[in-house]
Structure 1
Amino acid sequence: MADHPRIAVVVVAGGKGERAAGADTVPKQYRPLAGQPVLARTLSGFLAQDRIERVLPVIGADHASQYASLGLAHPRLMPPVTGGGTRQSSTLAGLDALASDPPDIVLIHDGARPFIEPDVIANVIAALDDADGALPVTLVTDTIKRSLDGKTVGGTEDRTQLFAAQTPQGFRFGAIYDAHRRAIAYSDSFTDDAAIAEWAHLRVALAEGSTRNIKITLAQDFARAERMIEGETPMETRTGLGYDVHAFEDGDHVILGNIKIPHTARLKGHSDADVVLHALSDALYGALADGDIGKHFPPSDMQWKGADSSIFLEHAAGLVHQRGGRIVHLDTTIVCEHPRIGPHVESMRTRIAEIVSISPSRVAVKATTSERLGFIGREEGIAAHAIATIELPRSD
């Protein structure tokens, strides 16, 4: 193998995550973990490794908007490809996407394993020096029983010969790509890539894994993962203040909190003039000490004319996630005489939560009037105030 092999990573993240769902309908890879979506944490772990040339996410057919909401941007992060109906077919889709410019080594990783460690990556790559594949494993410490009927003990396994398999599983690209293409014609039910390598009679070496490298599978795994994160990085709490105001002009609806509300006028602005999302975006930028909407989306740039303001809020939330932080709470107050806001509050809370990937229980939307005073009292426009509370890793 070359001294500096070209290494690519395929992160398989196309599943629905139903076992981890509980009452949540969001796939587990997009659910927040200490404020940062699981998949964002996973991808960031590989992008932090300079020796990795490319990172390719494989997502579900209906996950495009959820992936976009992660707000990830990195020169070594490839655009996502759409996977198939099984993990095996999704992995093959990722390998297909790399085949036109094949790497020397490909690492294949579960998107729901967000605690990837540099040592595990290094162990897998090193094990490929004299093997076609490498599988990170941990020792099985519990006594393992076998049952033939699911009710009674039928035997005891020799745990010294048993290992728990993890990812990333590493392979010489040509060998595993050929094995995958042949295996899909035989079966699409292989549960990991090492099993396909075994079926193809490739030599797979064992590499040392990590007990921290857990896969989020069940709902209770989120609580365990949260505890792991709390113990590893000291966090600081920050708050940011946002304010926005727009005048009325001729129209028949307003957009507030990304919800269309019938009205006798519309709000005038360069984008869709959503004062709620603008105020929330500026509150997040303020908490990050990173300017305002005008800095990131200049009104002089015509590409933002008429833009959906969810773009701005997604970007602000993405910056929080990229810095390893989490959004703790968003609070906004809408000030207007009309239209009536109360009937739309819950829809706004739900939509704002979706945009920034947090629970609606962390979003407050309130409304008040100006008691007929000033430009708002004269029904010339609408204003919104917002406060964002976030946690960021302590940097000092």
Structure 2
Amino acid sequence: MSETSDLAILVVAAGRGTRAGGGLPKQYRPVAGKPLLTHTVLALLQGAPGARLLAAIHPDDAALYKAALGDLPEESHARLLPPALGGETRQISVKNGLEALARHGAPQIVLIHDGARPFPNRALIDRAQSAARAHGAAVPGLALTDTVKQIDTQGRIVATPPRESLRTVQTPQAFRFDLILAAHRKAAEAGQAGLTDDAAIAEWAGHPVYVFEGEQTNMKITNAQDFAVAEAKLIRALEDVRTGQGYDVHAFGPGDHVWLGGVKVPHDQGLVGHSDADVLSHAITDAIYGALGDGDIGSHFPPSDPQWRGAASSIFLAAAVEHLRKCGGMLAHVDATLVCERPKIGPHREAIRKNLAEIMSVSLDRVAVKATTSEKLGFTGREEGMAALAIATVRLPL
């Protein structure tokens, strides 16, 4: 289908996603190195060239939304409208989003898509547009392959509906904009709540809704297992696997602690450096830049620049990971080794791993931190300083 400016996409992303676990609302949890919502928005923008996109988000999530979409290409940003604030239910969130679209200039067709469905493809989006133009209201659906049983409150089977006439429904659900906005307004005025999707609202308002062919791959992320499946699918697209190595050393000097992986570790000396001398974070940062073939920490954060004097090295590490994401890649794994006689790293290892994982926005199992002595040999053996070595594995699109 040719590019069209009369199409808008409303992404529903105001939910809390508690069934998925993980702390953050599921649409902002990282999957293959990017927030889930980022994958969804990119797929929609690529699948519908020229369309405008507006998201309905939770009032508390403005910063998360901005961070999730901050690295989109400039052309994509130009097609994003300011987000609308969602409500207590999906129905309220969609209505708020539709009202916001109306204020920005009502399109002819609107596609309403769940933020937790990151795999809408061009063919599906084309079918959605065509169905909306032909019928006014249409939804993607899949035929059932399993027999369905209806049960009572005790779990006894009371009916076996013929599966030939049943469909599981997906998004994007596609509508003529004036039709679905009027239906939502009518439902709100009538106090008709609890309708679980926009097809149900159109049906309630008296409009026939048609089903067009959905996509088996257009899965919705609901629980932890879904996240694992989605990540595996997204990672397969990142076929360029690279490794980079990093090495750093800092001398001991006056002080009562050292910074390692962003964690303050008590010691009878400190480490001397232009920044906070976090030797571990510096080595990992260099390893990431090395995997990208893009210089080292000194070329990105010159020690001659006074703004980095005493700076937390977590800034450098987070920037390296962000640079990797802007290249379309993800951090697959980090393996780092500290070399020192003292302080003992073991009591602090898990705190360091956890903090590094948070800085790099990866799961804990993707971060390994080890420590060894140099058997009293060399400058580390004489306790003149500490060294760190790191290997970073990254995945990039071909």
Q: Which range, TM-score by smaller chain?
A: 0.7 to 0.9
After TM superposition, give the deviation of residue 289 of structure 1 in Å. Answer: 2.5
Q: What is the aligned partner in structure 2 of residue 170 from structure 1?
A: 174
After TM superposition, give the deviation of residue 125 of structure 1 in Å. Answer: 1.4
Task: Give me the whole-angstrom Cα distance separating, in 2, the residues matched to 1:270 and 1:202.
Answer: 68
Give the structure with higher Rg (CA): 2
User: Are residue 197 (structure 1) and residue 193 (structure 2) matched?
Assistant: no
Q: Which amino acid aligns with 1:220?
A: Q
After TM superposition, give the deviation of residue 88 of structure 1 in Å. Answer: 3.0
Q: Which amino acid aligns with 1:73?
A: L
CA contact (8 A) 2:5 2:51 kept: no
User: Are residue 213 (structure 1) and residue 213 (structure 2) matched?
Assistant: no
User: Are residue 20 (structure 1) and residue 24 (structure 2) matched?
Assistant: no
Q: Structure 1 residues 3 and 340 mapped into 2: Cα distance closer, same or farther (>3 Å)?
A: closer
Q: Structure 2 residue aligned with 1:279, among 268, 279, 283?
A: 283
After TM superposition, give the deviation of residue 184 of structure 1 in Å. Answer: 4.7
Identity %: 51
CA contact (8 A) 2:56 2:96 kept: no
Task: Give me the whole-angstrom Cα distance separating, in 1, the residues matched to 2:173 and 2:380.
Answer: 60
Q: Which amino acid aligns with 2:43?
A: G
CA contact (8 A) 1:18 1:27 kept: yes
User: Are residue 347 (structure 1) and residue 351 (structure 2) matched?
Assistant: yes
After TM superposition, give the deviation of residue 331 of structure 1 in Å. Answer: 1.2
After TM superposition, give the deviation of residue 237 of structure 1 in Å. Answer: 2.8
- Map of 1:178-327 to 2, 5 A cutoff? 178-181=182-185, 183-184=187-188, 186-202=191-207, 204-225=209-230, 228=233, 233=237, 235-246=239-250, 253-262=257-266, 272-294=276-298, 308-321=312-325, 325-327=329-331
Taking structure 1 as the reference length, what is the TM-score of the superposition? Answer: 0.79
- Which structure 2 segments of 5+ residues have no match? none
Q: What is the aligned partner in structure 2 of residue 333 from structure 1?
A: 337
Q: Structure 1 residues 65 and 235 mapped into 2: Cα distance closer, same or farther (>3 Å)?
A: same
- Map of 1:75-224 to 2, 5 A cutoff? 75=74, 76-77=76-77, 78=80, 83-95=86-98, 97-102=100-105, 104=107, 105-181=109-185, 183-184=187-188, 186-202=191-207, 204-224=209-229
Q: What is the aligned partner in structure 2 of residue 384 from structure 1?
A: 388
Q: Structure 1 residue aligned with 2:45, among 44, 47, 53?
A: 47
Q: Structure 1 residues 335 and 228 mapped into 2: Cα distance closer, same or farther (>3 Å)?
A: closer
CA contact (8 A) 1:40 1:321 kept: no
SS of the counterpart of 1:91? helix
CA contact (8 A) 2:4 2:51 kept: no
SS of the counterpart of 2:358? helix
Q: Which amino acid aligns with 1:197?
A: A
Task: Give me the whole-angstrom Cα distance separating, in 2, the residues matched to 1:269 and 1:181.
Answer: 62
Of structures 1 and 2, the one scoring higher in RCO (CA 8 A, sep 6+) is 1
After TM superposition, give the deviation of residue 60 of structure 1 in Å. Answer: 7.2
After TM superposition, give the deviation of residue 245 of structure 1 in Å. Answer: 4.3
Q: Which amino acid aligns with 1:40?
A: T
SS of the counterpart of 2:113? strand
SS of the counterpart of 1:154? strand
- Which structure 1 segments of 5+ residues have no match? none
Q: Structure 1 residues 337 and 93 mapped into 2: Cα distance closer, same or farther (>3 Å)?
A: farther
CA contact (8 A) 2:11 2:53 kept: no
CA contact (8 A) 2:7 2:51 kept: yes
After TM superposition, give the deviation of residue 342 of structure 1 in Å. Answer: 2.7
After TM superposition, give the deviation of residue 227 of structure 1 in Å. Answer: 5.7
After TM superposition, give the deviation of residue 380 of structure 1 in Å. Answer: 6.6
Q: Which amino acid aligns with 2:57?
A: V
Q: What is the aligned partner in structure 2 of residue 58 from structure 1?
A: 57
Q: Structure 1 residues 143 and 346 mapped into 2: Cα distance closer, same or farther (>3 Å)?
A: same
SS of the counterpart of 2:152? coil
Task: Give me the whole-angstrom Cα distance separating, in 1, the residues matched to 2:24 and 2:260.
Answer: 24
After TM superposition, give the deviation of residue 287 of structure 1 in Å. Answer: 1.6
After TM superposition, give the deviation of residue 364 of structure 1 in Å. Answer: 0.9
Q: Structure 1 residues 234 and 242 mapped into 2: Cα distance closer, same or farther (>3 Å)?
A: closer
**After superposition, what is the alpha-carbon deviation per residue over 1:249-286, rounded to whole angstroms, capped at 9, x for unaligned?**
77665443222334566656666554333332332222
Task: Give me the whole-angstrom Cα distance separating, in 2, the residues matched to 1:380 and 1:69.
Answer: 43
Task: Give me the whole-angstrom Cα distance separating, in 2, the residues matched to 1:361 and 1:261.
Answer: 22
Q: Structure 1 residues 73 and 225 mapped into 2: Cα distance closer, same or farther (>3 Å)?
A: closer
Taking structure 2 as the reference length, what is the TM-score of the superposition? Answer: 0.78
CA contact (8 A) 1:58 1:94 kept: no
Q: Which amino acid aligns with 1:53?
A: R
SS of the counterpart of 1:126? helix
SS of the counterpart of 1:68? helix
Instruction: Judge which range, 333-342 or 56-65, deviates more.
Output: 56-65
Q: Structure 1 residues 196 and 295 mapped into 2: Cα distance closer, same or farther (>3 Å)?
A: farther
